[in-house]
A and B are shown apart, each in its own frame.
Chain A
Amino acid sequence: MSQLYYYARRTVVSVLLIFAIATFLFFAFRFMPGDYATLLLQQGASPEQVAKVRQMWGLDQPLYVQYFKWLGNMLQGNAGMSRQFNKPVLEVVLPALRNSLIVALPGVLVAFVLGSLYGALMGSRPNSFLERYGIIPPNVVGTTPDFFIGILLLTVFSAWLGWFPSGSIATIDTLTSTSGWGLYLTTDFWYHYTLPFLTVVIKYMYYPTLVMRGSVVEVRNQEFATYQRLLGLGKWRRFRHIMKHASLPVVTVLPAVTATSISGLVLIEIVFNWPGIGQLLLTSVFARDTPVIQFMFLLIAAWIVIGNFIVDIAYTIIDPRITIEGE
């Protein structure tokens, strides 16, 4: 009962939150100076032309009318028209999003798994050489800008060694011969995929490493861990108990990090000339393509909310105390 109540409450809160963010984004963009029509004006359009454009896009109507129209459209899965491409926003954003997520999500997940293991290894060997100095590489990498890591990888593996291509998502031949998801099935794509993927893994490994190291050190000193040592439980068994506890803070930050990784992608995608949402976001900002920007912001915000929702549910599975406190 309490479990169901907890899930239901979290669902309602998440939906309300996404709605609130969408509303906020709508008004925030409307109140920002300089809409698309103004941009046209700067390019020498006549006031009549501007007025026509405004009328065409409904920008001359009262704000609340615009809001409810927009809300109605969004609920029907219509995010509007991209002004720079003159295509529906969804058609513009979804392929770019796909290209980005295929790098970001597996990249961050692999980074978290490897980073957590490495951090746990350091944490469980207190005062060892590894614990003292093993922290230096992740610290160095973590404070290096991600585009720099990308450039470094390109220099070494592409320019010097020539093992991997220097950018783009695939060769022109592949791109023209495939469509939609088919692209991801070609070896050419994976060939291009390796370096951007590695960049993400390297960049995002440091965070779980640091958190996990501290977390394991702390959990190892908890009374239950001492007691399990006195109980004579095996090393591996005790390590599993500790890992389960220590992973809680790492799980907590996972959705937030995946979301921020999308913003980090802007630079990585430029370095690798990767047609993802990072690039799209950049060109859209320059073009003041509000519907696209607004929709992408909403997607990122929604991902944080949904990610947190997933984490909350995961918590109830890892930690049985959660629902009781939620009562």
Chain B
Amino acid sequence: MEPLLEIDDLDITYRTSSGDLQAVTDASVSIDANEYYGLVGESGCGKSTLAGAVTNSLDQNGDITGGTVTYRGEEIQDYSEKEYNEKIRWKEIAVIPQSAMNSLNPLSRISEQAIEVAEAHTDWSDETAVEKLEELFGVVGLPASRVHDYPHQFSGGMKQRAIIAFSLLLDPSMIIADEPTTALDVIMQDQFLKHLDELREIRDFSLLFITHDIAVVFEMCDSMAVMHGGQVAERGDTTALFDDPHHPYTLLLQRAFPDIRYPNRKLEGIDGTPPALESEVDYCTFADRCPWAEPECRERAPPTEAVPGDAEHASACVRSDEVAELAARDLDDIDDGDGEPVGADADADRGSDESILELRGLNKHFSQSTNVIDTIRASIFGGEQDAVRAVDGVDLDLKENQIQGVIGESGCGKSTLLQTVMGKYEPTDGEIVFDGTPVSEFDKSDWKEYRRRVQIILQDPFNTLNPHFSVRETLMEPLRIHDMERSEERVLDVLEQVRLTPAEEYIDRNESQLSGGEKQRVSIARALILEPDVILADEPVSMLDVSTQASVLDMLNELTDEYGVSMLYISHDLSTVSYVCDRVNVMYLGRLVESAATMDLLDDPKHPYTRSLLQAIPVPDPHHEREWAELPGTPGDASDLGTGCRFRDRCPDRMDVCDQMPRQADVGDGHRAACHLHYEHGSGGETAPTAATDGGER
């Protein structure tokens, strides 16, 4: 059968003021009708550029310099924009963009925007376009009556579905989804994937799914291609690539990816970064990161050759036949649970009995009213009707030398919690106790000392370093602020600690001369140089590529073991949290709903919300059939919460008693959950904790 889309030996070059840069080299991919095809690779690997060649949307300075793109037997790579718009765009190939949240114009009705699309490509009447949209709203599970809404009247998940409906508007044969789930948290990603998966049953189209997340591809796609440095390293059937990878990169990428089923598995990062773009690429771009590279790899680009016995499966590696052997020889067995414990298990015994940071009933509410009248009204009729209860009664006890995680969907209040501990916000109520002293009793010098002993690592390594500072200046500055000895040795030491070696080489670099992973290491070094007792980490690896993630996570683990630092680790990603944390707290709309040692939480989640979170994590294994988390809706509005359990409207186990707020109860071994399922309900209708002493115990 002829493939629907065939990309053959494609070269794409960007013309820049500093010369030509080849972003895609000899890429070949072929996608059959009704096939779900995954395109995986780290940032900058050329996957989006490749898609741009198919959708005729390359940047102005991007040129196709070789090869062909064939769609239904016709070469389309040289189409002008006009020709492409007339023949292909949206009627044949539609796009789901990265950020569905902001992709519809907020100033126009959704139906109007659909009419415009139809107008641009068809001779449909307005009524036909609206009817079609109504039909598709039904297909993606939105009420057809809401086609005339404005985008802002939709929740995030609904906008996702509306964008899927838009992509189907003109019945395309192919949909290209470019990192559609990257900006989503795990619950919304789960809903999105479920919709795409269900669409296969009722519609005929091929999907090109571009992502950095190999787990999503293993779950969703029939075939896949792995890209590195503009080259297609390996392509073929998804299960074939999983079971029998013939390119070292495919193999190592799998090993770098966390799998929630095996929280004890050691993650292995891939050393180095992809090479910078050059004008001509005639070598294997993975050679410098490859443990098995040979001189030959650097001399010429390896030819893509089919794997014997599987015509679809091809790898661009000169040692492609040996990969399995080499891996068996040089790498540890991946599922090995014996020997020295790593991952979640290794952390079990960590942490002393001494508290370093204790949160007692911490509250942070934000007043919503910004105008005079509301403020006056609120002060007369009682204060906080409108307040957003971002953090609402959080108890947490961080021990010395322990890493605790706080996990939840975006908007659950985890970042506010962290910022309140930082001292950015004053708590509305409750107390932060640091090393035995309540923060509220601090004087000015105590605060300064607190700011030395409690350090932060922020999410975005690309914006947290001053671009005008060298690494040396970045690391000297905190020493100067806190009147500590400013020695070069100290700086070199701390660079060694964060594995930026040789340290002498890094100390004079500028921000622009560091990769994303290196930047994050510098910001970790900046925190460490003050010898803090506590590090507050806000999603420290979420913006890093998976090959770098693993090594940064390992480093955080080692730092805790070696230097006795404690850490509060905030993230929405349970698989990285479970990898580093000794204890995990699950947060939902301002409250901790469950809190347990990591392995307890993974093995035996008590709260229905925790169960959904675990369920929603994609598993990087095409043989594994994951059930969708089926968590309907979105978290409610944090300013309008009522008195009952905050999760009750989404909860699959909702009971009558859930109209009362559940207390946190100990369900055994320090595993605490705030859910009525885990109380015994007496005949008098009163709720009494079973295994717990008291829900409010501290």
A residues neighboring B (CB under 8 Å) = 9, 13, 222-224, 226-234, 237, 241, 244-245, 318-321, 324
A232–B90 contact, CB under 8 A? yes
B85–A224 contact, CB under 8 A? no
A233: chain B residues at CB < 8 Å are: 116-117, 120
B116–A244 contact, CB under 8 A? no
Residue in A closest to B101 when the chains form the complex, CB atoms: A223
Main secondary structure on chain A at its contact with chain B? helix
With A223-B97, A320-B150, A324-B152 as contacts: A230 and B57 at CB distance below 8 Å: yes
Assess whether B107 is interfacial by the CB under 8 Å rule.
yes
A321–B150 contact, CB under 8 A? yes
B104–A321 contact, CB under 8 A? no
With A230-B57, A234-B120 as contacts: A9 and B152 at CB distance below 8 Å: no
B106–A321 contact, CB under 8 A? yes
A320–B90 contact, CB under 8 A? no
B373–A224 contact, CB under 8 A? no
A245–B117 contact, CB under 8 A? no
With A223-B97, A237-B120, A324-B152 as contacts: A232 and B104 at CB distance below 8 Å: no
12 A-B residue pairings within 8 Å (CB atoms): A13-B371, A223-B97, A223-B98, A223-B99, A223-B103, A224-B106, A230-B55, A230-B95, A232-B117, A237-B120, A241-B105, A324-B153
B56 to chain A, nearest CB (A): 9
A262 to chain B, nearest CB (A): 27
A281 to chain B, nearest CB (A): 31
CA of A224 to CA of B104, assembled, Å? 5
Return the 9 tightest CB-CB contacts between A and B, nearest first. Answer: A227-B103, A223-B102, A232-B89, A320-B150, A232-B85, A224-B105, A230-B95, A321-B152, A223-B99
Residue in B closest to A225 when the chains form the complex, CB atoms: B105
Assess whether B182 is interfacial by the CB under 8 Å rule.
no
A218 to chain B, nearest CB (A): 13
B105–A228 contact, CB under 8 A? yes
A224–B102 contact, CB under 8 A? yes
Interface string of B82-124 (1 = CB under 8 A from A): 0001000110000101110111111110000000110011000
Q: What class of interface size applies to chain B in its complex with A?
A: 20 to 34
B97–A241 contact, CB under 8 A? no
CA of A324 to CA of B151, assembled, Å? 12
B372: chain A residues at CB < 8 Å are: 13
A231–B373 contact, CB under 8 A? no
With A223-B102, A226-B97 as contacts: A231 and B120 at CB distance below 8 Å: yes
B116: chain A residues at CB < 8 Å are: 231, 233, 237
With A9-B373, A223-B99, A230-B55 as contacts: A319 and B120 at CB distance below 8 Å: no
CA of A224 to CA of B373, assembled, Å? 35
Q: Which of B109-165 contact A (CB under 8 A)?
A: 116-117, 120-121, 150, 152-153
B636 to chain A, nearest CB (A): 16
B152: chain A residues at CB < 8 Å are: 320-321, 324
A318: chain B residues at CB < 8 Å are: 107
Given A232-B85, A319-B106, 8 further pairs, Cβ under 8 A: A13-B371, A223-B99, A224-B103, A230-B55, A233-B116, A320-B106, A320-B107, A321-B106
A227: chain B residues at CB < 8 Å are: 95, 97, 103-104
Residue in A closest to B91 when the chains form the complex, CB atoms: A232
A166 to chain B, nearest CB (A): 48
CA of A222 to CA of B99, assembled, Å? 10
B105–A229 contact, CB under 8 A? no
CA of A231 to CA of B373, assembled, Å? 44
A161 to chain B, nearest CB (A): 45
CA of A261 to CA of B175, assembled, Å? 54
A230–B97 contact, CB under 8 A? yes
CA of A319 to CA of B151, assembled, Å? 11
A252 to chain B, nearest CB (A): 15
Residue in B closest to A226 when the chains form the complex, CB atoms: B97
From A229, A231, A319, B107 is in contact (CB under 8 Å) with: A319
B150–A231 contact, CB under 8 A? no
A319: chain B residues at CB < 8 Å are: 106-107
A13–B373 contact, CB under 8 A? yes
CA of A230 to CA of B166, assembled, Å? 12
Residue in B closest to A244 when the chains form the complex, CB atoms: B107
CA of A320 to CA of B95, assembled, Å? 27
B117: chain A residues at CB < 8 Å are: 231-233
A223: chain B residues at CB < 8 Å are: 97-99, 101-103
B444 to chain A, nearest CB (A): 39
A308 to chain B, nearest CB (A): 13
B57: chain A residues at CB < 8 Å are: 229-230
Interface string of B20-53 (1 = CB under 8 A from A): 0000000000000000000000000000000000
CA of A223 to CA of B121, assembled, Å? 21
B48 to chain A, nearest CB (A): 12
B523 to chain A, nearest CB (A): 27
With A241-B108, A245-B107, A321-B150 as contacts: A231 and B102 at CB distance below 8 Å: no
Residue in B closest to A231 when the chains form the complex, CB atoms: B117
Interface string of B360-391 (1 = CB under 8 A from A): 00000000000111000000000000000000
Which of B90, B99, B103, B117: most chain A CB closer than 10 A? B103
A232–B120 contact, CB under 8 A? yes
